[in-house]
Amino acid sequence: MGFVQIIKLRSDRFDELEAAHDEWRAATEGQRTVVREMLCQDRDDPGSYWMIVEFPDVDAAARNNDLEATGRIAQRLAELASAGPEFVNLDLLRVDE
């Protein structure tokens, strides 16, 4: 069963958030277990961001979480956030495309 994690945070430092993400992607190349990532900004609340991250299953998400670079980006996101991050963990039941 697929697994999705939604991360919500508020920040006025978008460029730094993106730089941290780019560093994480480079550091986890060939190791990360992410299937797909989406980054969204709330149209009604600028500066509020939602990261939607899909994994093959919860075990893959746990392996990804255990990567040293994932710990570093989590810490960096917390530093860049003026609120959050908040996490929601979801079992993926269906995708219609």
Instruction: Identify whether the C-beta of residue 77 lies closer than 8 Å to the C-beta of residue 16.
Output: no
Structure tokens, 41: 């900004």
> Please, which residues bridge with residue 11 across strands?
none
- Cα–Cα distance measured from residue 46 to residue 48, given in angstroms and rounded to the nearest whole number: 5
Whether residue 75 has pLDDT greater than 90: yes
Question: Which domains are assigned to the chain?
Answer: 2-92 (3.30.70.100)
Distance CA 2, CA 69 (A): 23
Render pLDDT for 7-60 as a digit per residue (tens, 0 to 9): 999 999 999 999 999 999 999 999 999 999 999 999 999 999 999 999 999 999
